[in-house]
């Protein structure tokens, strides 16, 4: 694990930088809507599906920490969330997949709201 960490970190730096560039471009091209975030989520999910499949079928799992956790995790964690939901679904755990999706979205929205309320209370 310790030897893998630098690869994850390097991939994360690449992914985060790419996300930043996409967001800057989107804000310049079409301000007023979070097109950049939508784009990285959709692109990241498509790439996650392709890479996870290719790595699994072609024995490339050694590249997963760098590519999946690092690059795509830095680009968008929505791709990891989507892959986890798909894995539950494909294992025949439809109810758990639905619970995971709904729980993740609802709890995350509540958490960001709570964080904002707490920060506003501290700064007020």
pLDDT the model gives residue 65: 96
CA 75 centroid distance within chain = 7
Asked if 97 and 89 count as a contact pair (C-beta separation under 8 A), the reply is yes
pLDDT of residue 79: 85
Q: Kindly indicate the confidence band of residue 106, based on its pLDDT and cuts at 50, 70 and 90.
A: very high
Question: pLDDT tens digit string along 3-54?
Answer: 899 999 999 999 999 999 999 999 999 999 999 999 999 999 999 999 999 9
Helix spans in 58-93 (H): 64, 73-75, 78-90
Are 79 and 41 a contacting pair, CB within 8 Å?
Answer: yes
Find where tokens 């301000």 sit. 31
Any idea what DSSP says for residue 69? Answer: I
Look at the block and give the residue holding tokens 């494909």: 90
Q: What is the DSSP letter of 33?
A: S
State the average pLDDT for the chain.
93
């Amino acid at each position: 694990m310790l030897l893998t960490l630098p690869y994850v970190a390097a991939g994360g730096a690449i992914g985060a930088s790419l996300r930043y560039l996409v967001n800057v471009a989107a804000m310049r091209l079409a301000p007023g809507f979070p097109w950049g975030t939508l784009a990285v989520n959709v692109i990241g999910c498509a790439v996650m599906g392709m890479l996870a499949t290719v790595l699994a079928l072609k024995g490339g799992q050694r590249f997963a920490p760098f590519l999946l956790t690092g690059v795509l995790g830095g680009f968008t964690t929505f791709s990891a969330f989507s892959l986890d939901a798909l894995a539950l679904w494909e294992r025949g755990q439809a109810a758990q997949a639905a619970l995971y999706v709904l729980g993740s979205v609802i709890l995350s929205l509540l958490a960001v709201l709570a964080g904002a309320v707490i920060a506003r209370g501290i700064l007020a």
